[in-house]
Structure 1
Amino acid sequence: MATDSPVTVERTDGLAVVTVDAPPLNLFDGPMGTGLVAAIDELERSAPRAVLFRFEGKTVTGGVDVRVFEPLDAAGATGLFTALVTISQRVAALPCPTVFAAHGTTLTWGFELALACDLILATDKAKFGLVEATVGLSPAMGGTQRLAERAGTGRAREFVMTGDLYDAATMHSWGVVNRVLPVDGFDGEARALAHRLSSGPTVAHAVTKNVLRSYLDGGVAKADADVPALAGELFATEDLRNAVQTFLTIGPGHSVFEGR
């Protein structure tokens, strides 16, 4: 990844921290798109045990640099949006827990990226919006459908069609944001949770994600059909075997997982 990229990846003890830093507003533009793809390439090439997405600056993101849209015709826009949806799909498919930390205003592509993650953390000062309607557009990175997945289609219609901003408490009440935390110490809390997930049973977490995908594809019946084989495969992992022996010899809460 280029050293001057607005997106960097830092690894510590199995945790990959993806940081976006393109002041002042972390807008999506050509370099941002290139940086995000390069970061995801790295995560897929050498899989971490958990990923934290975090942003520098007062604002998580002010959205897209509208100059990106100016030269596009319908075919060009379709190509761009295909690439954007692919970013969300690749993040969602990572075989490890993913955490998004929203410390402030999070608009358009940033919120859509958050919705592709497993957990969303927010400060009590954070606000969220899909404001594409202000330029006659509808969200094109998967935000509408992933918001509907978490909050229902009625909420998604309201959120997208009004283009309003919604605070973290509201998004928590909708089931979109997992935890609302104070501003003070937020980055440390987000890192601590991500580190906790990265020290857990990585393969089991991947199975959990696959079971939920089965549920979303075909409801409880599909998940019920898939879960025996998915969970059964865990008995081939070192983590499960070692944890069972630790439980039997020492007791619960003492297992150390290696992600294998």
Structure 2
Amino acid sequence: MALVRLDHDGPLAVITFDSPPLNLFTSALMADFAEAIGAVESSNARGLLLQAEGRAVSGGVDVHEFEPLTPATGAELWRSWFETIHRLEDLPIPTVFAAHGLCLTAAFEIALACDLLLAAPRAKFGLVERVVGLTPSMGGPQRLVSRAGPARAKELIYTGGLYDAATLAAWNVVNVVIEDEDFRAAAHAYALDLANGPTRAHAATKAIVAAAVANGPRAADEVTPGISGALFGTDDLRNAVASFLADGPGKATYTGH
């Protein structure tokens, strides 16, 4: 993986886009990203942090990728990249994207596929595909709808503008704006705290939320008893309950994954 780096800090896997200064997305970078996701899938990671090296998170897709495409090969490109997006989304662990600076097109769409999006105050986001006559095609529009609603999604894409972290936090696109001089360390600590939590319960939360998004609250109600009931058979819950009863709140331990 020449363009993407995978590291581990205890239970936290960290994927770093490492092709500065702009981390432009190419087929080669996406292949490395897919390989990194595969390694996380087969690991014992309990959380995942995505971040980037360089002054920008990403300047977006390298437009050279588009030059030879036809309608058929363009559709196939998006299908292959969606496979990786879906594998990221389906990870049964908390996924966190940390944006320290400019975050455009493909990188922003990958961020929207993560559970949580953290941003430094200086970060700016944009889906600027209009400049090449394209619409965002890695899931950005539909995932913006889930977070901010259809009108905001259209506004952001139609204008092709750059939006700051505070604005997107107000729109429920950014989860947390981290006001810290060392954003990278603070984002890492945030993600590590999630990775040290009850992974099996977090996976259950993801499944219940996904059911609600897809089919509404009543549909989620139907699947919750089975999903949540299964937690009583996990080491996470058993160990946490035992340590809670023995040592009190704040001392629960999780060893289920």
User: Does the Cα contact within 8 Å between 1:92 and 1:116 map onto a contact in 2?
Assistant: yes
Match of 2:107 in 1: 110
Q: Distance in 1 between matches of 2:166 and 2:112?
A: 16
> Is 1:23 matched up with 2:24?
no
- Report the AA paired with residue 176 of structure 1: V
Contact 2:239–2:255 under 8 Å retained in 1: no
1:146 aligns with 2:146: no
3-state SS in 2 of match to 1:140:
coil
Mapped to 1, the partners of 2:175 and 2:20 lie a distance apart of 27
CA distance in 2, matches of 1:167, 1:212: 27
Counterpart residue type for residue 39 of structure 1: A
How many residue pairs align between the two structures? Answer: 257
**Residues in 2 aligned to 1:76 and 1:30: alpha-carbon distance in whole angstroms:** 13
Corresponding residue SS for 1:257: coil
Following superposition of structure 1 onto structure 2, how do residues 170-181 of structure 1 map, counting pairs within 5 Å?
170-181=167-178
User: How much does 1:221 deviate?
Assistant: 0.5
The offset of 1:99, in angstroms, is 0.4
Identity of aligned residues (%): 48
**How many angstroms does 1:182 deviate by?**
2.7
SS at match of 1:255: coil
Q: Deviations over 1:162-184 (max 9, x none)?
A: 11110000000000101111351
- What is the Cα-based RMSD across aligned positions, in Å? 1.0
Q: Helix, strand or coil for the counterpart of 2:15? A: strand
1:233 pairs with 2:230: yes
2:6 equivalent to 1:9: yes
CA distance in 2, matches of 1:12, 1:174: 32
TM-score for the superposition, normalised by structure 1 = 0.96
Partner AA of 2:12 in structure 1: L
**Equivalence for 1:34:** 31
Unaligned runs of 5+ in 1: none
Distance 1:238 1:193 in 2: 24
Letter in 2 for 1:143: G
C-alpha offsets along residues 174-206 of structure 1, whole Å, 9 cap, x if unaligned?
A: 001011113511011111011111111101000
Q: Which residue does 1:87 correspond to in 2?
A: 84
- Output one character per residue of 1:86-107: Cα deviation in whole Å (capped at 9) or x when no partner: 2221111000000000000100
- The equivalent residue for 2:120 is 123
Matched residue type, 2:3: P
Report if aligned partners of 2:236, 2:254 keep a CA contact under 8 Å in 1.
Answer: yes
Q: Which residue identity does 2:58 align to in structure 1?
A: T
**Residue 223 of structure 1 corresponds to which residue in structure 2?**
220
Contact 1:103 1:183 in 2 (8 A): no
Distance 1:183 1:252 in 2: 29
Tell me, yes or no, if the aligned pair for 1:200 and 1:259 is still in contact at 8 Å: no
The runs of at least 4 aligned residues of structure 1 exceeding 6 Å deviation read: none
Write the letter of the residue equivalent to 2:173.
Answer: V
Equivalent residue letter for 2:230: E
Describe the SS at the equivalent of 2:8.
strand
Q: Deviations over 1:200-227 (max 9, x none)?
A: 1101000000000110111001000010
**SS at structure 2 position matched to 1:128:** strand
Unaligned runs of 5+ in 2: none
**Residues in 1 aligned to 2:125 and 2:116: alpha-carbon distance in whole angstroms:** 15
Aligned to 1:197: 194
Task: Using the TM superposition, give the Cα deviation of residue 23 of structure 1 relative to its aligned residue in structure 2, in angstroms.
Answer: 1.8
User: Equivalent residue for 1:255?
Assistant: 252
**Which deviations, in whole Å up to 9, do the C-alpha atoms of 1:31-71 show, x marking residues without a partner?**
21111111111111224100000100111000111000000
- Taking structure 2 as the reference length, the TM-score comes to 0.98
Paired letter, 2:76: G
